[in-house]
Chain A
């Protein structure tokens, strides 16, 4: 079953085309990575899927339903969650309160405590539940945000550079988390620059360039693609 599909998606800002005829499709249960050089349109694509930008033309389908006209919070209610590149947490509230606000968006009071504890255990922050979220390390803040996004029980999780600024150990742990979520049935779409990490998690990779889908395939196919190497992976024709 196709979980996310875009149909002839276009977006331009004052004449600058940032998404051009994007016909994207991913299956439920897949881990897909979105790569491409800076300015390729990866973040714009995320914002279009999230409803933060309205497309200039085209449609977006989630689980078969056209969500193009839905507002962001309505898309979240449909089952899309996001973790931003810069941790989007409530810094002045405790870790527990952060998770509580995420969990209460879809759960009733009686089952909340267990769900919060479970989510905190998953992102290994149980012992930091009483600390202010703003005092966590960068990696922990990233995990907290992943935990908050996952707490809304989405079927599709969007991750915008989930390992940015993380140590190698934190990156590896994040990869394990993502794979664990995928095993539980969650579909994951991640924008990522770290090719080592892409290799760790991705089942399929989509390359964007100048707002268009440039290539698509397994990580081995993408790495073997000379055109991709030329535009993104930094390999010149002479190499």
Chain B
């Protein structure tokens, strides 16, 4: 038994002693635990806070752009990594929420907190659509690879539909959907403030807001996956038949996880749209739909920390690769996915943790 597995089992025992938030944050369904991890976590947060002081504005904005995608990856980790349902639908909910944000804010403007309303309506729309699709999937007993096929088909149908919405007839109020060219003209996130509204264009304030949201979302999801609810999700991933025979309505749990995960994809969609003031069907096409799968699989889908770190690293690598040609970047991403699936099925970071555990154990045996 590896050190990480033993720590997990011990965390599971301590989790049963109480239900405080601290114990849930530090529970058995997450890899990073113990003082060393949390010191590292605090250092990473400190470095992220200090980061804008040491780099130029473009880098800050670019990192904020990376943060926009993290929510979608964490959502997929919940749906796929923790619950075992491979979903290609993340970009559909991403796009739906992005377009919704555009429609609301183009029609009602940015004053009086309307961009926040746009954000909430966008995320709400993606949650409602996920509830409908998820209900049809799970209560229609669609699972395994077929769930992936149906979610991918849904995404591609939605992307194709949006791509043909060119022309003035495809408009909701003042918001033109824009067909292949996408929708433009929506305002950035704007926070109502005493001295006047603060528009969060790509820059340091937006960076800090997104950083805070990423940390909050990460911690909340840690609490969720280590809670009783999270235990059931993991049980469903491991053996759905047994989970049902312990008295759990597994379809209800799968549906809730799907809605939360898809809602997070919607949050990414809104933040991306507000960040770039642009959304288009290319954000939902086949290549775009496959990318979240690669981020999550490469990092380690069964762990939130692995997903978070993996997503940021793969996004950075992908962006640098596109300098040499975007198509080559996609080919290399595909190759990376194949290599990880074949050689490190649990992902790079859990693989690395396993390796370190083995070395530490060997050292312990020798001493």
Contact = CB atoms under 8 A, between A and B. Distances in A.
Interface of A: 50, 71-73, 76-77, 81-82, 84, 88-97, 100-102, 104-106, 109, 112-113, 116, 129-132, 135, 145, 148-149, 152
Contacts of A92: 238
Contacts, number: 98
Contacts of B1: 130-132, 135
A97 B244 CA distance: 16
B238 A100 contact: no
Contacts of A129: 9, 13
Instruction: With a 10 A CB-CB cut-off, give which of B16, B235, B250 has the most chain A CB atoms.
Output: B16
B234 A93 contact: yes
Instruction: With a 10 A CB-CB cut-off, give which of A89, A113, A135, A152 has the most chain B CB atoms.
Output: A113
Contact of B12 (A82, A100, A149): A100
7 contacts: A71-B249, A72-B245, A95-B9, A101-B232, A130-B6, A130-B13, A152-B246
Interface string B1-14: 10001101110110
B201 interface: no
Contact-residue bracket for chain B: 20 to 34
A79 to B, nearest CB: 10
B239 interface: yes
Q: Across chains A and B, which 7 residue pairs bring their CB atoms closest together, nearest first?
A: A94-B9, A130-B9, A76-B247, A88-B242, A90-B238, A113-B16, A105-B247
A90 B243 CA distance: 9
A148 B241 CA distance: 14
A84 B234 CA distance: 20
B153 interface: no
Nearest to B15: A100
A93 to B, nearest CB: 6
Contact of A50 (B9, B12, B19, B245): B245
Contact of A88 (B10, B18, B241): B241
Contacts of B228: 104, 109
Nearest to A103: B16
B13 A96 contact: yes
Given A100-B12, A100-B231, A113-B17, A82 B245 contact: yes
Contacts of A94: 5, 8-9, 12, 28
A50 B246 CA distance: 12
Contacts of A105: 246-248
